[in-house]
Each structure stands twice: as structure tokens, then as C-alpha cells.
Structure 1
Amino acid sequence: MSNMHRIHWFDEQIRSGRFPNSGWLAREFEISRRQAQRDIEYMAISLRAPLLYMAKYRGYCYEDQTYRLPHLYMTEEEQRVLKYLAHRYRHYNYEQSDAVNRVAHLLERFTPEEQQTGNRQLPVFMAHPQQLQFFEILSHAITETRKVHIHYRDHAGERQFSWCPLKMVSQFNADYVIGYEEDPVQQTAIRLEGIVHVWIMNETFEYQVDGVLSGWEEALPVRKPFVAEIRLKEVQQTELWQGYRIRAKQDQIHWIEFYDMDAFMQHLFISDWEELLSPGWLRRKLESRVGGMIGKLGMKE
């Protein structure tokens, strides 16, 4: 239960002239006396409630009777962003993953309780408006077991197809949706980043709860990331380059960490940068991929 529910109850007791205390709060909601006291401290410090302890009545009152609790609400847009971030944090499997997963659990509950994580620095994920929209559409389609029509773009070109979405997963700083076109056994994963447009169809499909093939969301062995040395057009003011961690930077040259080579190459195709300095193997793969695309364009001419 949210502590705001308890705080509203405590506020009502004060306004009724009952002089509540931490003992009352603990008994009413079956929580510890220590937790109840933290709720009262939260009222006084964060909500600026003018609480005054009356020793005569062994309880609290308001020193200023005109005080009102602030209206705490969350807009639909904020709920969507938090839902997306909870999804990303829940699938984070790198440094400090235990602490990050705990934050994911808290975000899912949408409560302000116990959201401190010490001095640890949490990873930051880009919440692109278009990807948030796709995430919401696909989540709804999964819940309703309805097919979607997807316009998709990657290094192989553009294509459109009908899709039965089964599950959302995140790996290596990228979002994927698992699904299939016709055969439930032939499941694949596509990146949200590659989706140009998606809409829900009227057609539904059937699938078993355990129908998602295993292996997509299992924890992968934690390994050291690859590092790409890239000259960007501008010096990045944050520790991320569109979701990829910047290990170091010197002027416009940035050393950027990545785990999935194919995902990072796709990122290079759609991102704005000046020069890929290293590693050599990534340069060669990128040159080969671009050369193949240019060759195909030449054949069409």
C-alpha cells in the first residue's frame, strides 16, 4: 500500500482533532512503528506539514490550521514514461543490476516509498517519444492478443508485414518485441528502434502462456563491453550517446561502450557522427555492409 494512503489517513485524524501518533498509524495499517515514524517525517520534511507534537495528548496536530496536503497526481504521460523505464530497469543485467532491479520494482508500484539507492549512480535510458508510443501500442496488442501491421527498416532495407507480438524484452540497451508472422514455432525478435510505423489490426490470434520460446530474456553472461572510438559532431554533455555509455571523451572524440555488434552497427546507420576511428574490425564490417548496399544500388541503376 502506498504511504500516501497512510498519510491521507493521518491527515484526516489530525483534522478530526484526534491527535494521532506513530503508534496509531502502525496499528491501523499493520506496519512497524519505525515505518510509521518515517511516514510522519516524510509529511514534515517533504510535504512541509506544520506538525506539532502535543505531549499532553501524546499526538500530533497542525500548528497552522490552514495547511492542506499537496495534490499529488501523475499524468498519463508520466505513467507511460515510468512504465517504460520500469521495463528497461527490469531487464538491466550489468553493473549494480540488483539495485537497478529493485528500482524497477518500485517504479512498477508507482509509490514514493524507499526510492533511495544510496550513492549508486543509476543507468539512464533515452525515452524517445516515438519508441514510447510503439511500446504502448505493442503492449496493448500483446494484452489483447491482436495482430499488428509493422513497417520495419534495418540494414537489409524496408519491409512491411503482419505480426503476432508475444513479449517485450530488453537486452544490451535495446528494446525488442518477440513474435511471429504465421508459425508460432518460428519466433523472432525485432528491435523497436527499427520500426517506422505500427498499428493494431482487428484480427486476433491464439497462443499459450508458455508459448514464448525460452532463451530470449534469460540473463546473458556479463562480459566486458566493446569500445568504439568515434568522432562526433559535438561534445556530448552527458555520460550517454543516445543510450550508449561514454567511457571517456577528449574534445569531439568519444570512447563508447557497446555489447551487441549488430545492434550498434544499426545504431551507426541511423545516428549522426563524423568518423569511426576504431576498432578496426568494426570499421571493416561497416565498410563491407555499406559496400554491399552501394553495390545493390549500382545494380538497380
Structure 2
Amino acid sequence: MRKEKKSRESHVKSLRLLQLEKAIQSIPYPGVERLVKELEVSRRTVLRDIDELKLYYNAPIEYDRLHKGYYYTDETFFVKNVLVSEGELVAMAGILPLLERYDNTPLKDTISKVYNTISQMLPNQVQVQSSLLNDVQFIADPLPNIEPEVFKKLFEAIKTHKSISFGYRNLSSTEHIPHSDIDPYKIYCQKGDWYVIAYSHSHEKFNTYNLSRMKNIVFLKEFTPDQDYDRKVHIDPNFGIWNNDAPMQKIELLFDKSINTYVLERTWHKNQECHQNEDGSVYLSFESNQIQETLYWVLHFADSVQILNPPELKKLYKEKLKKMMKRI
């Protein structure tokens, strides 16, 4: 109890010192009586706090006899003690795992430099009101490796409208296959994976390429961007960024009641309809043109999901299960 009381008193005192500092900075030459009113404390407390600011924080506080009030001789001074609340600490700690999303890209170094710059701008002494950093651990997703040169050159090619050639290893390939005369338009990051959508002159359509499977990028001639890019590229960022000109289909799924909370507490798609039935099962529907990607996602739930529609997804699901059974 004594430790808790002492900690609480220290917290209140630190807050009061910050309020005192702010008052001296914002109010022209505040006198003791004005500070008593602002801080709602006694005259004795104000004078003691001023002495503490000067003694322990080297605050350049002086008293102006002409104006009968206090002021800072150095207007850039601030108290070198910052209180970080538990909520603020969570937010600060949350930045670090976000950086792990960029571990496989050169952006990691850039973002880290920005974060370190902001950190250096903070006061040297930070008083934390929680041990939360020791109580929380973030688990990062496994990320594919991307060659730094690939990332750098792709952004440059998009910015300067340069066609490129490169080596690409498909999902089932054993080696990189040469690709040439590709016009890169836009880079997408989905769940830690990085992709570029580019117009392939050999295929005469927009294709999606995974950055981790690319290498040996070479700049070619400059190209004129297609003004109808947005109309010609059909992706669904919620379930897949693979360009697909197939029509949107309504996906309808029924989840077992054993995982109803897990399904209900998440937003799976921006245009979803999701509700719990009387028997505890959960109905989920949304529209997407990414049938193949939806299939991979549905397989994640194993026997806890039933595909209601469309028939095409049902068929793919059955075929995939048959192939899986042959491997057992």
C-alpha cells in the first residue's frame, strides 16, 4: 500500500510540474497567485515546485520584478521528464512490430531512421507508469525475402515510367524464367507480401508479379501510362491482388458454431454480410472475383465451414480435398 501511495503521489507531482511548466510558458509573467489559481494548489506548493524545477531540471526560471511574475530565459526549454501512460505505451510499442512488416524491404531502414529521429526528439528521461513492455510480446508473420535491388528498381521504374525485363520464378518453378518488356504501374502490399501490377506486352494484359520471386531487373525504354489502368485492372484487396477479369460472384459460407465467435469478431471483407443463426452457426457472404484465393482461405477452416455458393467454389474445394486425401 505504501509503495502504491508513493507511486501515485509521484505521478501527481510529475503532472503538476508539467502543468506548472506549461503555465509559465503560455501565460505572460504569471505571478504566484495566478499559478495558485491555475494549478489549484497552495502558495507553498507552487514555490516549492518552482524551486524543484530550477534545482532538479535546471529550468531557466527567473522572476521579473517589473512585471511581478515568472518567465523562462530560454524559451526552448522543456522539462526532461515525460509521463507515458499505459495506453500511450501500447501505441509506442505497437510501432515496433509494424516495422517487422517491412523486414524484407529497404523501407525498414528508412522507417527505422524516422522512428529513431522522433525518439531522439523526446526528452532524455522518460517516466513510464506501466511495465507493459515486459508483459506484451508481438509475434510476427513469416515474410518472404525480397532483394533490395528489386525493390529499389521497381519503385524507380514506376516513377520514371520505364519498361523492365527481369527473371521470375513462378510458384511451381525450379528456376527463374526471363520476362521482358513489362510496364510496371503500381505496387501493393497484402499481408506482408509485396506485389507489382504490370502490363505484359507478350501476354497483352495486366499481370501481377510477386517481388520476392523477381531478380535481375533491367531498365528498358520509357512507356506512356495507360489512362484506363483502373478500368482494366480487376483485383480484390481483401482477398487477392491477382488481376482477374472474371465477374464478381457472391460467396456464401456457413461456419460451425464451434468457431462462431472467431468469425463474428472479424471483418473479413469490406462488403460482407455476417450474422449468427439461431443454432449458433454463422452465415457470411461477400462479393469477390478472387475465387482461387478465396478457396485457399476457406481451406484454412477445414471441417468448420460449409460452402453454400457459388458452385464453382464448391467444385474447386472438392477437387482440392481429393488431392489432399491422396497424399495421406
Band the TM-score falls in, shorter-chain normalisation? 0.3 to 0.5
The answer to which structure, 1 or 2, has the higher relative contact order (CA under 8 A, 6+ apart) is 1
TM-score by length of 2: 0.38
Under a length normalisation based on structure 1, what TM-score does the superposition of the two structures give? Answer: 0.41
